A and B are shown apart, each in its own frame.
Chain A
Amino acid sequence: MNNIYTPDIMKVEEIKQETSDIKTFKLIFDDKSKNKEFTFKAGQFCQLGVFGEGEATFCIASSPTRKGYIECSIKEVGKVTRAFHELQVGDTVGFRGPYGNWFPIDTMKKKNIIFVGGGIGLAPLRSLIWNCLDLRKDFKDILILYGARSISDLVYKDELKEWEERKDIQFVKTVDPGGEDKDWDGEIGFVPTILREIKPSPKNAIVVTCGPPIMIKFSVQALDAMGFTPERIVTTLEMRMKCGIGKCGRCNIGNLYVCKDGPVFSYDQLFTLPDEY
């Protein structure tokens, strides 16, 4: 019988410094055939570990349409994430996954898609954004609204530029008041405020959002006021996780386990859950 806790070995292929405390790691399976066959869906996560330091939970931030590697963006906050930040290209990490459910990409087809992201919350959205952009004709209008506390807190800066230049999507970037500098050409204001100003139409639209809880809370209120029904607002949740497969018992909200029944939830689901997340 297979040991479900044994990770696959991956090598760090590339490291990119996104902000002062966020790095993106491009990872490749040691096992060539695994590298070829590996598939996942946008929204799924993995348990990544540095041997000797432990495992932590990260969403797969690259798109399933880009094969042969995965990327995870990791913010340094504690023991394991610190160990990741000390890694060099060529170092070894352990991977378990992909785990959890995924964004409802099939029901999003032929619809207008609105992405609302904040800070490192763009990581899981990025997987879906590139997934949609790589299959651009399957979707109607695409709006990406992304904000961070300050310019230096924006992640994926090169990609933001790319999205800005694309004619087939609408891209809006913003920083919190005071987070701008004199060269800043984006919006200034909190994400929910800018969202209210853009006022996207709820008609045939699905919203996918991820970011700090406070941003999500006020964005959902704004969307509600604009007429977006809860089942058309989708988010991905974070809970402390260890096993990632519904056994270790810590990531539940009510009787749902975020690692197995989530991490992707729509708001009509979330409204039925106890307020314990």
Chain B
Amino acid sequence: MTEKVISREKIQDLLKKLGESYNVFAPVQDEGKVLFMSLENSSRDVVLEFKNALKPPKEVFFPQTDILFTFMKTTDGVRSEDAQRKKSKPNLIFAIRPCDVQALQLFDKVFSGDYQDSLYLERREDSIIISMVCSEPQETCFCTSVGGSPVTAEADIILTDLGDQIFASGLTESGEKILEDRNFKTATREFMDKKKEAHSRAEGSMKEVFNMNKISEIIGKSFEKPFWNDISRRCINCYTCTFLCPTCHCFDITDVKRKGGGERIKTWDSCMSPLFTLHASGHNPRGEEYSRWRQRLFHKFKYLPDNLGLLGCVGCGRCLDTCPTGMDIREILNIVISEDKTKE
């Protein structure tokens, strides 16, 4: 592992250089919110002092609207043509939080396998992930309760903010290569100690909000329990929790008509919508509010672990932070867990 430091004011220069070889997505201020944007399309200053971005950077690989292909009417029918997904350079995400990196592990599994989703995989191919340690996790964060950590990530480089200097650990070959840039200086003992300190401070500030032990098993037993109805009553089906979730990947496929043709598009969809599963006959297997909330929890904590070996929640806290009616997935998991105990 290569360990370097870079002074804060050199970051802009580094990003500019990286921009020559990569399409760099970095956190910028946007009307009071922090969002990941491509620096190719944005002249805003990159911010490093942020808790987490409102939207997870999943959009870099899984855009909200993705053109699958275009089609045009011809004299003998219709011709379809693969959408031009111009990717001159590989993508690079700068300062992505560890929880959001963990979510990409799940995306990688969902969009590969026996049917390879080229739209996702081509954007992901050769991409570089530079993560940023959460020195001050938020009140709503609970990554350590779902097996994560605020200070480690499956990234190419992981950064730790030490104030004037940013500590950088290269975790992969591509990451180490980037650290060869002259903006990086070899990390001295002093910085290594400071980094260690920062990490233990961050880890120490995390509380375990529920006991993950056997969570899949416990959830699995709760399908028929009567409490689902009470738990979910406040939800107004606004879909915010799923759209902003870094692991939520469900989508819709629809057509857009244009003059002489059109395009077929893939768009984010939400299991919290009753239309998600509505049959043409009017029958709806998840027509009831509680069954959708139950599906959301089961998908994240039971079905995904069963099928792909990963939890569908990385503890980023976005859903509870942004829910207009204050639905808190931590509280709900704790209800499921305590109801399981009272039974025994």
Contacts and interface: CB of A to CB of B under 8 A. Distances in A.
Interface of A: 1-7, 9, 11, 30, 49, 51-55, 77-78, 81, 90-92, 94, 213, 238-240, 242-243, 245-255, 274, 276-277
10 contacts: A1-B122, A51-B255, A52-B261, A239-B285, A240-B277, A243-B253, A247-B110, A247-B115, A248-B250, A277-B285
Interface of B: 68-69, 71, 73, 77-80, 82, 110-111, 113-119, 121-122, 223, 249-255, 257, 261-262, 264, 266, 269, 271, 276-281, 283, 285-286, 291, 295, 298-299, 302-303, 306-307
B223 A274 contact: yes
A253 B113 CA distance: 20
Contacts of B283: 213
Given A51-B73, A242-B253, A276-B286, 13 more contacts: A3-B118, A4-B115, A49-B255, A55-B255, A78-B280, A94-B80, A240-B277, A240-B278, A245-B115, A247-B251, A248-B251, A252-B295, A255-B306
Contacts of A78: 280
A11 B80 CA distance: 14
B78 A92 contact: yes
A52 B252 CA distance: 15
Given A52-B262, A248-B253, A277-B285, A7 B279 contact: no
Given A4-B115, A9-B80, A250-B269, A242 B279 contact: no
The secondary structure that dominates the B interface is mixed
Nearest to A8: B80
A139 to B, nearest CB: 31
B138 to A, nearest CB: 28
Contacts of B73: 51
A250 B271 contact: yes
The secondary structure that dominates the A interface is loop
B132 to A, nearest CB: 29
B251 A255 contact: no
B280 A77 contact: yes
A238 B82 CA distance: 30
Which among B249, B262, B280 has the greatest number of chain A C-beta atoms within 10 A? Answer: B280
A28 to B, nearest CB: 12
A242 B111 CA distance: 15
Given A51-B71, A81-B280, A276-B285, A249 B271 contact: yes
A254 B303 contact: yes
A94 B255 CA distance: 12
A247 B253 CA distance: 11
Contacts of A5: 68-69, 119, 253, 264, 266
Given A4-B118, A81-B280, A249 B250 contact: yes
A53 B115 contact: no
B107 to A, nearest CB: 11
A75 to B, nearest CB: 8
Contacts of B262: 51-52
Nearest to B115: A245
A160 to B, nearest CB: 24
Nearest to B111: A247
Nearest to B121: A1
> Which 4 pairs between the two chains have the least Cβ-Cβ distance?
A249-B250, A92-B77, A1-B118, A77-B280
Contacts of B251: 242-243, 247-249
A249 B255 contact: no
A77 B306 CA distance: 35
Contacts of A91: 77
A246 B80 contact: no
A213 B253 CA distance: 27
B302 A255 contact: yes
Given A247-B117, A250-B269, A276-B291, A3 B69 contact: yes
A240 B69 CA distance: 22
A3 B119 contact: yes
Nearest to B264: A5
